[in-house]
Each structure stands twice: as C-alpha cells, then as structure tokens.
Chain A
Amino acid sequence: MKFYGHDFNVVGVMDATGMGADESVFMTLDAAYRMAAESQKEALTALDIEPGQISSVLVKVEPGVTIDQVAQRIMSSVPGMVAITANEISRSVTDRLSGFLRGFIVLDIIVWVMSLLTIAAIFSMIVNERRREIGLLRAMGGNRGYIFRLMTTEAVLLTAAGGAVGIVLGGAGLFIFRTVITSSLGIPYLWPPVWYFALLVGGTLLLSVLSGVVASLYPAISSSRLEPYAAIRQGE
C-alpha cells in the first residue's frame, strides 16, 4: 500500500471501534519520518513533518493508576499539551448514539404500554369466550384461586412463548440488517459479550412474562369472581 509515495506492507487490519482511531494507520516513527521526507519528491501533496515532531502520543496507563490522574499530570508537567482520555474519545460515539437511544427508549415504553393494553384486552376476550368453561370448572370444584391461577398461568405461558419468538425474530432481524443499521448509524457492528447477551435475553423474557402477568391480573381476578351459575348462563 502506498502512502505519500512510500510503499508499505500491510501486516494486519484492526477491528473497527466506531471511534476516530478507525481512520488511523499505525507505523513506526522512523517509517513516518521517512514517508514525510520522501513525500517532498514522491507525493502529489507533501507531508510536512519535521524530524522529531510528533502530534500525539498514546499512553498506556499502569495498573493502579487512574487515567484521569495521568492526564492531569501530563497537562500540568508539559505546557501546551492536551491530554485526551479514552473516555473522551468514546464519548463521541456515545453522544452520537444517545439521541437514538433516547428515541428507542421512548418508543419501547410506548410499545410496552400498548402491549400491556393489548394483552389485557385479549385476556378479557378470552375470559368472555370461556365464561361457560369457567363456570363448569367452578361447578366441578375449582375455587376462585384455581381460576385465578389458571388464567395467570396461561398468560405466563403465552407471553413467555411470545417473548421467545420476539427475541428470535428481533435477533434475526438485527443480524440480517446489521450492515444497513451500522452504516446508517456510522458505528461498527459489535457482538456483546456472552454474559451481556444472556442478560439481555433473560431480561427480555422476564419483562415479557411480567407484562403478561400484569396485563392478565384484572381479567384473572374478574373471572375468578364470576358466580358459577352466572358464568355458565352468560356463556351459553
């Protein structure tokens, strides 16, 4: 690969991070000076780097010392030096994403509330359609607690299954459209660590089940309070 008229061998390509470093080329300092010197003759636009001149230094902090402490010490000991911490670099990505995240969170809350209302409406319809069945179960000896548990268990099973299907479909959609998503957001596609992935899946399933339980509470309570005879007659 040729930079400023100087040939380089590419020894590796680093993974994308979504930060400014993704645009960087890593080479030895000597190679950089040579490239700058040769660019005066070989390149269309010369690269002006004086011998000994550097624009930035990457600092690896030793364990036990905080990044901020080191940054402060550098700035106080070298006049005119600006220390930029890793957090500040990643903040640009975070800033870019935070707007989207806020939008997604608002959207999520709206969808969640609508889901609760939908599940509640569906379970109310189920109760209405199964009044006779509920009355029969009561006539056979099912008490109110039994009917309540029956309805909430059904809600748990349905919403758990729905949550699992949603996770699979959502994950598949994210995977299929990852290129479109990352290019439109201007960030790389990074797989989360396994533990975070498991937490996300578990949390989503738990939220689905909780939503089902919350949404089915009113229909479950009202169905358990139906008088058996009235339930049988209304279900006819």
Chain B
Amino acid sequence: MAEPIISLSGVTKTYKVGPNTLNAVADIDLEIDAGRMVSIVGHSGSGKTTLLSLIGGLTTPTDGTVKLDGTDIWALSDRELSLLRNRMIGFSFQFASLIPTLNLYDNVRLPSTFDGARSVDENRAQELLDIVGLGDRVYAFPSQLSGGEQRRVALARTLMNEPRLILADEPTGDLDEDTEAEILDIFKKINAEGVTVLIVTHSRSVAAQAEVTFKMHKGHLTEAPVNP
C-alpha cells in the first residue's frame, strides 16, 4: 500500500499565553492519501491555520511527528526542510502574499530561484499567468492589481515548481463569488492532475468542494460528515 502523502501522529502545538498554556493543536492523528482534495473547516481560532503550518513545516510542533511522503520533516535540517518545501509544497495564503517590489513575472518565478539544482523553465511563469488570466500584465506590480487579481497571481506562483501538495489557507477569503469560483475551479483542475490539495477554511461552501472534509474545533480534529 502506498505511503500517505501527509501523515500526522500525535501532533500537538502549544503556546504560552501569560501564565496559561494554549493548545492550538491537540494530539492530532491524520493521514491523507496522495491525489485527494481535502478540506478542514473550522471557526476562527480553531487551530486550522496552525495545523496547516505544521504540515507545511512552517512551525515546529511541540510534540508528535509530521511526515510528508514518509519523511519526518522535523528530523530534517533547515536546508533540507527548505528544499522539501520548495520542491514539494505550494502554499496559498489567506492574504495576497506577493512581493510588492517584484513585477508579476518575477513574483511567479520566485520559487524556482531557490533550488539551484533545478533547471528553470523560463516560459512557465508566463504560461501560469496566462492560465490565471493575467498573461498580458507580466510587468505590472502587485499594487496595480485588484485583490482578486493578486490572489490569482499568488496561485500562479504556488504552481510554479509543480508541487505535489498544495496547502491553501482561506484561499478565497475576502473574494467576490465569481473570483472565489474561479480560484476553486483552478484548485479542482490541479487536483484532477493528481496534485493533493488541502484547504483550510471557515466557509462551509468552500469546504464542500473537497472530497473529504474535516472539522476542527479548539485544536481537535474530527472527520465531518462528507460534504453537505
């Protein structure tokens, strides 16, 4: 049987808040097979973003192990973990997340510059900007775009290194319905190509686009009824 692409065992993340200890993520076990589209739904402060960052190697767990493709990511050195993030994961954040001093082409191309061993396809950034409908504005800067356009560019950047896993944190937050539908369509297309997509959201309608939905509440994860 193939190794799940995401495997969490007893993952806990606690924060010290004054004299108290806050369990942002509490003893979570989770396995997600490659090629699935999974969502985690929960209220603000439920710990879903922290969980996503633990899976993506952006924050260190207080306890437990996080494995991606069978590799315990927190056993890796900073250099190895950074390279793994670069090659395997595409992050989509709840804010536009573009570098304001770079034009759209350079923003999209940016992830490909971190891996010296990788041969960069110079046309890919243009192709991706074409896919998200901004191929004619490659030399524009983020400040010249609307919020929805910035999200689409950020999504193009997420796909630059052909990640096998996409971790999306509220990818459609603050967007109008049309743009939200466009973004979700792109996620579905990517998933149809075999890329694993994990979306955390507070929106049940967004979560409903996934094959499997988990519910997160006060740091605990429960598998919710399959999409309403």
* Residue B186, interface by CB 8 Å: no
Distance to closest chain A CB from B168 (angstroms): 12
Known contacts: A133-B99, A229-B53. The answer to whether A141 contacts B59 by CB under 8 A is no
* Residue A219, interface by CB 8 Å: no
Distance to closest chain B CB from A226 (angstroms): 11
* Residue B110, interface by CB 8 Å: yes
Among the 9-residue stretches A42-50, A61-69, A143-151, A192-200, the one with 4 or more Cβ atoms under 8 Å from chain B is A143-151
* Residue A139, interface by CB 8 Å: yes
Q: CB distance A228 to B58 under 8 Å?
A: yes
Give every chain B residue within 8 A of A236 (Cβ-Cβ): 95
Known contacts: A141-B86, A141-B111. The answer to whether A232 contacts B79 by CB under 8 A is no
Distance to closest chain B CB from A154 (angstroms): 11
Give every chain B residue within 8 A of A229 (Cβ-Cβ): 50, 53, 58-59
Bound-state CA distance A228–B59 (Å) is 7
Q: CB distance B78 to A139 under 8 Å?
A: no
Q: Which of A138, A139, A141, A230 has the most CB of B within 10 A?
A: A141
Q: CB distance B91 to A139 under 8 Å?
A: yes
Q: Which of A140, A145, A232, A236 has the most CB of B within 10 A?
A: A140
Q: CB distance B93 to A146 under 8 Å?
A: no
* Residue A142, interface by CB 8 Å: yes
Report, as a range, how many residues of chain A touch the other chain: 10 to 19
Bound-state CA distance A228–B83 (Å) is 14
Distance to closest chain B CB from A83 (angstroms): 69
Known contacts: A145-B79, A146-B114, A232-B93. The answer to whether A140 contacts B58 by CB under 8 A is no
Q: How many residues of B contact A (CB 8 A)?
A: 25
Bound-state CA distance A4–B86 (Å) is 92
Bound-state CA distance A143–B111 (Å) is 12
Bound-state CA distance A215–B129 (Å) is 40
B100 nearest in chain A by CB position: A133
Q: CB distance A227 to B87 under 8 Å?
A: no
Q: CB distance A141 to B114 under 8 Å?
A: yes
Q: CB distance B86 to A140 under 8 Å?
A: yes
Q: CB distance B56 to A139 under 8 Å?
A: yes
Q: CB distance A227 to B59 under 8 Å?
A: yes
The 6 tightest CB contacts between A and B, nearest first, are A141-B86, A141-B114, A143-B82, A229-B59, A229-B53, A229-B58
15 intermolecular pairs with C-beta atoms under 8 Å apart? A136-B97, A138-B85, A140-B86, A140-B111, A140-B114, A140-B157, A141-B86, A141-B87, A141-B111, A141-B114, A141-B161, A143-B83, A227-B60, A232-B93, A236-B95
B interface with A by C-beta (< 8 Å): 50, 53, 56-60, 78-79, 82-83, 85-87, 91, 93, 95, 97, 99, 110-111, 114-115, 157, 161
